[in-house]
Every structure is written in C-alpha cells, then in structure tokens.
Structure 1
Amino acid sequence: MLTGKIRNQIDQVWTMFWTGGVANPISVIEQISYLLFIRRLDELQRTAERRAQATGIPIANPTFGPDEQALRWNNFKDKDPNVMMDIVQNQVFPKIKALHNEGSFAEHMKDAIFMIPSAKLLDQVVQLLSAINMDDKDTKGDLYEYLLSKLQQSGVNGQFRTPRNIIQMMVELMQPKLGDTICDPSSGTCGFLMAALEYVENNYKQEVNKPENRKHVNNAMFTGFDFDKSMLRIGAMNMLLHGIENPSVLYRDSLQDQGDANISEAYNLILANPPFKGSVDFDIVAPDLLRALGKNPAAKKAAVKYKTEIDENGVETQVEVKTKGPTEKSELLFLALILRMLKVGGRAAVIVPDGVLFGSTKSHKSIREKIVNEQKLEAVISLPSGVFKPYAGVSTAILIFTKTNSGGTDKVWFYDMQADGFSLDDKRTPLFKDGVEPTHEQSNIADIIARYASLTNPDGTPNLASPEHSRKTTEQSFMVPVADIIANDCDLSLNRYKEVVYEEVQYDSPKEILARIKTLQEKMAKGVQELEKLL
C-alpha cells in the first residue's frame, strides 16, 4: 500500500506537470514511465556488475559503457537540477530511444518525446522516485496503479482504463491458472493482465516461483496488443513494475488483416474490454472476421469513381474520387477475433455494449448465433449503466463463453447487477470504506462471484445441484434454457427473460381523500384561531 506521504508527493508532481504545460494525463504518465525505465536500466546493470564481480565473468554488452557512467541514475540523481536536466534530456533520453534489446518497453521508445518542461520538475520527480524502494514490486506496482487511476479521473482519457473492481471481478470469475496463456487484444494499460497476474500469485504462492513456472510467467503467460504507442509504453511499464521481466506488449491493429500472421488458436484465456465506439472499414478487416459476421469479404473494397475538374487554363482532367466503403462495428469484429484467437477449450470474459445482445442486423445475429450454437455460452452479466462514467453512460454486459467449435450451450446464467460499490453518477464515489465489507445493496460483486462459482463442481463438471437452477426469472439471477434463447433469435438481453412483478397498489376513493383534506383544513383553521387568541 502507498503511504499518504507518497500519494501527496505524486499529487504535487502531477500539479507541477499541469502548471508546467503538460496537461494530458497520458503524457504525464509517459514521462514518469521514461524515468522509471532509466532507473531500471541502472539497477539491472548494477545487478549484472555484482554477478560479474562474484563470478569473474565480464558483463556481455552492458547498457552503459565505461564512457557513459554519468548517464546512470545513481550518478545523476543528486546533481544540480540544471546539470541533471542537460544529462537526461540530451544524453540519457536519446540513448534509451535507440535501445532495442531491453524488452518491449524499449522497442516502443522510438517515437517517445521528452516533455518535462523544467529542471525543477525533473529534480522533484527524480527525488520522489529515488525515495521509493523499487525492490518491493508491490510498492512500485501500487505507485503506477495510483498514477493510472488519474486516467479514470481525467474524463476524456478514461476510456483506456476499465474500472479496477470490474477487472478484478472478471478475473475472479475466470480463475486463471498457472499454465494458462492469457491475452488482451485491446490491452491499453494492461489492467486485465496485471489483475490475472495478481490472482495467480495469490492462489499459487508455492508453485509460481519454481524456475519453470517463473519463466512461463515472465515470458509467455501474458500478451497484450494495442495500436496506440502511448498505451503500449504505459502497458509495458505497468507489467515491468508488477514483476514481469519480459512483458509481451506488442504493436498490432488486432482487427487488421495480417495474412499468414493472423493469430489463430493461440490462447486459452482472453479477458477484454474492446473499444465499442466506432466502425471499421471493410478494406482493412481480415476476411474471416467478416465471414463470421455473415458478410461477404469480396465486397469489402470501396467503389472508385471519377469526377471532371477544370484548371485555371480551362483544361479538363479526370480525378479519382474514392467513395466511402462499407464498415462494420468494432465490438462485433472483436468478438469474432476473440473466437479465432482462442484455443479449443479456451475461455473468454468480454465486456460488450448492450446493443450486441439484442441488435437486429445480420452481423449482430450472426455473431450471437455463432456463440450460442457453435460454442458454449455460460453467462451474461448485465452491468449498471453508470459503471463507465464520467465519460460514458452506455449500458454494457459481460459475456462469458468457452470455445468448443461443437456447441455445448445448455443453460445460460443471467445476472442483473445493480451496484458495484461506487455511486453510478459522474463522481463515482465509493459507497463503503476501505477494510469494511460492503452490503449487497452497496456492491453485488461478492454475490456474483459466489453464485457463478456454485454452477461448477471442484472437478470442473457442471453442478446441477446449484441453487441457481431453481431460481425464478423474477429474481436477480436465474438460468435460461438454450431453447428459449434460440426461439428469441439468440437475443441475450436480460430484460427479454427477466419477469417483472408489479405490485398492486390500492388507492383510497376520492370521497375518503376529500374527507381527509377537509379534516386537515378544519384543524388548520382551529390552530389559526388559537394563535389569534394569544396575540
């Protein structure tokens, strides 16, 4: 846990960035990430130097050569702020931009820009980071999580960060195992991957540090894709600070056709909150994703037309005009992509907008039919519409399914989530204090996890004795047979199946109401007369 003092220091640094002209919260986090990376490079070389001293074997390809010792964190951190500014801006920063063999963070540094506006601010940030014990991955991980929480508070940039309580709930529902390969195809800050790491480390404390398991965790267990360079740097640093030595955070437009490099059947767990505020041109989308939505890839090119233009000399020329081609919704394409990326037997928990659940277009129906009929749909959890405020009030749901390619959907578990522990307005104020167990009215998360877990036996087989099978459709959670879902065009909206019970309200007759009003008027008149007597 971060102390109040460190939080206050971070808040002060944040304010200094803001007043210094760096107003974009993503840029602030990036600048701090660069400094954390610079410090890490020095720590890695110091570890290698100690090893070389003990073994007598010289370091192969050290990051800092004999003539670059002044560029190391421990050598410039106590210098005069102006001298430090010159060293970092003109020597250290150009060096780290040219590194390519220090993991994925270094690979994403090519487009990085040094934006710290003053020597005073640089000195303050360096002193803050120097005071933190970076040997404690929990502390440095918490520090970065606190920085990332600023994204959510910042409104317009908050879409990059799914609320942490929702991420943790989804991870608890999926219960990742030590041997899993886990992917987020729109990783952003890598919040899902970090929550999965924390779950594995907490539930497999003895096994996780065995050499072969640690190697898997550090290199192959977690993969994130994004096409925003800023998010790639932030996500890679997040994974580094949480203890993953070689984070696999890669630049990739997940929906784009990569030909033979398209990823297929590569992961056995996908956790994602894909972007769902846009449409993607057919031109760039992989054909198999379009086919999964019932579309014809052959029709994916925009039509080309020509128009006649006359220049100043009266000469006519034919100019090519490319008209807008067909597009497809990104949330539907991501569902098709996730089905392709999963191994057979692989599981997914994905946040989708409510429109995916009941949309009537051919694409909407096609992807729902694929999930219901060809895979195994297990659960639909309807989220409150205020979960993504302040920047979006859209209603969403979590789909949980297993890729089988042979069907298997039997009964689908529906849950109507009403509360997540925070107010559902723009302020998103916590409804209970840290360390206090929330009531069900304050947060449904514990109830969701417990009820979903009851559906499965410890050996992984369905638990037909679960109380969920006997709950009525008037209750907060219930089961719906697949036959009912198919009969409703594979509509997955909770309101399609939830039965609303209306209470009959008895009203008094008008005569009785008028009689009560008359009695009240008489009492008022009597009270006025008594007041007049007192004057």
Structure 2
Amino acid sequence: MITGVLRNKIDGLWEVFWTGGLTNPLDVIEQITYLMFVHDLDDMDNERSKESVMLGLPYSSIFDRKVRISEELCDAKILKWSVFRDFPAARMYEVMQSGVFPFIKSLDSNRDSAYSQYMGDAIFKVPTPAKLTQIVDALDGIYGLMKQGEMDDTKGDVYEYLLSKISTSGTNGQFRTPRHVIRMMVELMAPKPGEVICDPACGTAGFLVSAGEYLRERYLEEIFYDKDQLNHYHSGMFFGYDMDRTMLRIGAMNMMTHGVRSPHIEYRDSLSDQNTDAGKFSLILTNPPFKGSLDFDIVSSDLLRVAKTKKTELLFLVLFLRMLKVGGRCAAIVPDGVLFGSSSAHKAVRKELVENNRLEAIISMPSGVFKPYAGVSTAIVIFTKTGHGGTDKVWMYDMEADGFSLDDKRSPVRENDISDIVSRFHDLPGEEGRARTEKSFFVPKEEIVGNGYDLSVNKYREVVYEAEEFPPTSEILAEIRRIEGEIMKGIDELERMI
C-alpha cells in the first residue's frame, strides 16, 4: 500500500500530467507506464551486464547498436535513461520522441509477439520539453524512494495506486495479489526447467514474474547454459491472458524487464469459447477474478457441462482442469464459498477435484490478506490433474498470519506462517499423525465425501476449550465491597487534609 512521501510524489507526478493538458486517467497511466519501462530497461541492462561479468555468461546489450534521431545517426546508449536525463530540455524531448519511443516499439523483432502487439501503438504524448523535464525529475524521485524503502514489490503497489485513480478499476472483481502470497504459492509448487506455466487471469503478470525469478535463482546453470532450455524460458514457458489491455501492456513490459524476452501475454476472455487451450500447461498459478456472475452466452459450453453456473470462481476451477495436461499442477486462490457452498454446482466442482483428480491441499488464509482492496476470506487450492482420481487424503493448513497486520494499514508484524506452510508442504510424510487441534493436519477422502465434499478447514479442525473457574458470586461481591470501603477511606482522608 502506498502511503506518505511516496504517495505524495506520485500525486505530484499526476499533477504534472494534468497541468500539461493530459487529463484522461488512462492516458496518464499509459505514459507513466511507458516511462517506467524506459527507466527499467536501463536498470535491467546494467544488471544483466554485471551478471554476465560475474557469472561468465554471454550478454549482448540492447543498446549496442546505432539509432537515428531526426537526421543524426547516434550510439543507442544515448537512449538510456541515465544518459538522456541530464540533457537540456529540448534535446531530451527530441531524443525521447524521435529515439526512445521508436526504439522500445522495435525491441522485439517478432511482430506477432505480445510485446509487439501492446507496444506497437505506443505514442509519446508529453506536450512540451519543460513538462518532460518535470516528469523525468519526478520519476527519479519516485524510484529513489522505492529503492530507499526496500519494500517488496513497491512497483506493483505504485501500479495499483495509479489504477485506483480510474473509477472503473476493479469492476470485474480483480485486485492485486500481495507479492509475498504470490512468492509463497510459487515456492509451494516449486516450478522446474521445462515447465509450461500459465496464469489465465494474469493482470500485471505477478505470478509469471515470480515463477521466472524462482527458476533463475534455483536453476541458473540448467536453464542459462542450455540453449534449448534458454530458448524455452524466453519464448515457450510463460503464458498469460487478460481482458484489460492496460494490464496486458504492463504485464508484457513487466515480464520483459524481468528478463523474459517473448512471453505469451494475450488478450483473451479465458472462460469464453475463444480460449481453446486444452491439455497444454504443466503448471497454473493464478488468482482469478471472483466477483458475482456472468452471462451463460459467453461461457465455453464444455465448462458448463461440468458445472452449470454463472459463478466465475467455479468456472475457473473447471477451466484449469481443462487447460492442464495430465500430471499438470495448479495452485489457485478461491473465495471461501467455493469450499463449502451448498449449491449443486459447488458440490459438482469439488467432487470433480476429489473423485476424478488428485486434490492435495487446502490452505485457508485470513480475511485481511487482501486489505485494503478487499476483505474477502480466501483459500489456496492445490491439485494435480489425473483424470482418474488419486485423492486419498487432503492436507489442510489454517493460516493465521502472513507477516502483516490484518487491517487496512497492513503494517509488518512478527507473526508469519508462510515459511512454516512451505516447509510442512514439502515434507508431507512428516505431517502424518498431527492432531486436528494443530495448524495443519490430514483429512481422509472418505470423511470429505461423507460431508458432502465440504473442504473448509474449520469443518475438520478441532477446537480445544479450556475450562476456567471463577469464584462464587458472594466472594466477588464481598471483594467489591472491600475495595469500595478502601476508596471511601481515601476520600475521607483527602477531606481532612483540605
């Protein structure tokens, strides 16, 4: 959540655009996004150059070429943020308009790529050199604060705050998943080289970015020293779909600045007939929108055959099963109602997971995890597509804390179950025999079936009530009279002193 000085800086940047005549919030957000991308390209290039020296990996800078600015042929390093930011206003404006924007639009030579689709129509709309100077200075100040604060995923918070200025944001039920929750889900699923990973409601591509970072940290040599694996990482591993073009543009840039050259970030209504993916992915990581209902007319008919419902949260679970290949895994955030809803559609989806696939885990999260954007109670559902059953017992965890207060302020606190969740999940044999009074425990399939496929953790967790004895009422009243007598004595002494 953006607060204090950083929030004021962003408001000030917005004001610069506003006073410059750019009053459409979407235009402002797009221009800020483009400029942040240009800034991040410089940072990314510097970071990759350092990595190549330290690790002995080959790296060719995107700025190692010539570009034409107006009629002048220049070294592309002039397009780096750290270089042109020091130019006089008129020269900076010329470089940005005639050099930087054509450059970022041509970064991907594949004209069919997601990046080309969403950056190909990028237009520089800053009206004057003076305004550009103010904007560059303001962005430098914002980046300085973000680095100074060392907050996790501050850039995501900045995007979220910018989007909050659009009155229509969130109307489809989307809200940003906290970075530490995304990271926890990635560590639970532990992706490996060769995976094909999808987020069918990707937003700014936070899950895909985190999965890419995880792979870079743990499989650097396996991926980056193998030509085929490296090519797969850059162009065949990551897929993301969304219906918001602003989110798609941000997602494509977010992936590219995190070192993935050609992610498949596409405009698509995942629940409609336009999504024909079936048996394609080995891993799905997602927090799909689950607000209200939608029209039957737009929903793919094969999804309705499993659960005839308008509830998006149920349809998405059926969709994940269709999109996964046999043996593919999924970790998805769902509202608590999915776990215990009594409608025939709710029961049909839960039965499909338990009887026809391998439901592995339910992690119940506290309702404050998504504050201040939403107070909904949610859970993480983890399953493997088998198509022929495999569920014998389900591991359940009652998460009570995520390292932040559960109010709108979301201040850091010491209580945090995340590392415990990850370590226990990766040592499930050690979970055998845990009592249901503990945070985690197994529930056998037979018991779940007997309870109408209810998957809510509270249904199975046992609460121990400790008896507490109180003294008789006569003793309490006598103690009150004694205390009252002492008070009256004190008042009498005060009167005598006066």
TM range (shorter): 0.7 to 0.9
Find the counterpart in structure 2 of residue 451 from structure 1. 424
1:207-226 to structure 2, matched below 5 A, reads 207-210=222-225, 211-226=227-242
Query: Residues of 1 paired with 2:251 and 2:220: CA distance?
Result: 24
Find the counterpart in structure 1 of residue 334 from structure 2. 352
1:293-341 deviations in whole A, cap 9, x for unaligned? 1x3xxxxxxxxxxxxxxxxxxxxxxxxxxxxxxx611111111111011
How many residue pairs get matched? 458
Query: Residues of 1 paired with 2:139 and 2:39: CA distance?
Result: 8
Query: Residues of 2 paired with 1:517 and 1:151: CA distance?
Result: 59
Native 8 Å contact 1:278 1:330 kept in 2:
yes
Q: 1:50 to 1:496 in 2, by over 3 A?
A: closer
Find the counterpart in structure 2 of residue 384 from structure 1. 366
Query: Residues of 1 paired with 2:224 and 2:151: CA distance?
Result: 24
Instruction: Confirm or deny that 1:238 pairs with 2:242.
Output: no
| CA deviation after TM superposition for structure 1 residue 393, in Å | 0.1
Find the counterpart in structure 2 of residue 458 from structure 1. none
Query: Residues of 2 paired with 1:395 and 1:49: CA distance?
Result: 47
Find the counterpart in structure 1 of residue 12 from structure 2. 15
| CA deviation after TM superposition for structure 1 residue 502, in Å | 2.0
Query: Residues of 1 paired with 2:238 and 2:280: CA distance?
Result: 12
| CA deviation after TM superposition for structure 1 residue 532, in Å | 2.4
Find the counterpart in structure 2 of residue 108 from structure 1. 118
- Runs of 5+ consecutive residues of structure 2 not aligned to the other structure: 49-59
Q: 1:169 to 1:18 in 2, by over 3 A?
A: farther
Find the counterpart in structure 1 of residue 387 from structure 2. 405
- The correspondence for 1:269, drawn from 266, 277, 283, is 283
Find the counterpart in structure 2 of residue 151 from structure 1. 159
Amino acid at match of 1:522: G
Query: Residues of 2 paired with 1:409 and 1:9: CA distance?
Result: 48
Query: Residues of 2 paired with 1:115 and 1:14: CA distance?
Result: 19
Instruction: Confirm or deny that 1:229 pairs with 2:192.
Output: no
Amino acid at match of 1:171: V
Native 8 Å contact 1:226 1:251 kept in 2:
yes
SS of 2:470's equivalent?
coil
Range 365-374 or range 115-124, more displaced: 115-124
| CA deviation after TM superposition for structure 1 residue 122, in Å | 2.3
Native 8 Å contact 1:39 1:73 kept in 2:
no
Range 269-278 or range 245-254, more displaced: 245-254
Native 8 Å contact 1:31 1:115 kept in 2:
no
| CA deviation after TM superposition for structure 1 residue 344, in Å | 0.3
Instruction: Confirm or deny that 1:364 pairs with 2:346.
Output: yes
Instruction: Confirm or deny that 1:393 pairs with 2:390.
Output: no
Query: Residues of 2 paired with 1:129 and 1:67: CA distance?
Result: 29
Find the counterpart in structure 1 of residue 458 from structure 2. 495
Query: Residues of 2 paired with 1:226 and 1:272: CA distance?
Result: 12
Amino acid at match of 2:417: N
Q: 1:398 to 1:42 in 2, by over 3 A?
A: closer
1:157-306 to structure 2, matched below 5 A, reads 159-210=174-225, 211-258=227-274, 262-293=276-307, 295=308
TM-score normalised according to structure 1 size = 0.76
Find the counterpart in structure 2 of residue 320 from structure 1. none
Q: 1:497 to 1:74 in 2, by over 3 A?
A: same
Q: 1:263 to 1:427 in 2, by over 3 A?
A: same
| CA deviation after TM superposition for structure 1 residue 499, in Å | 1.7
Q: 1:396 to 1:9 in 2, by over 3 A?
A: closer
Query: Residues of 1 paired with 2:137 and 2:210: CA distance?
Result: 29
Range 65-74 or range 77-86, more displaced: 65-74
Native 8 Å contact 2:334 2:381 kept in 1:
yes
SS of 1:470's equivalent?
coil
Q: 1:523 to 1:236 in 2, by over 3 A?
A: same
Amino acid at match of 1:353: P
Query: Residues of 2 paired with 1:65 and 1:89: CA distance?
Result: 9
Find the counterpart in structure 2 of residue 54 from structure 1. none
TM-score normalised according to structure 2 size = 0.81
**Higher radius of gyration, 1 or 2:** 1
1:34-45 to structure 2, matched below 5 A, reads 35-36=38-39
- Runs of 5+ consecutive residues of structure 1 not aligned to the other structure: 1-6, 52-61, 134-138, 296-326, 432-437, 456-462
Query: Residues of 2 paired with 1:402 and 1:495: CA distance?
Result: 23
| CA deviation after TM superposition for structure 1 residue 230, in Å | 0.7
Native 8 Å contact 2:63 2:76 kept in 1:
no
Native 8 Å contact 1:332 1:364 kept in 2:
yes
Q: 1:384 to 1:41 in 2, by over 3 A?
A: closer
Range 214-223 or range 346-355, more displaced: 214-223
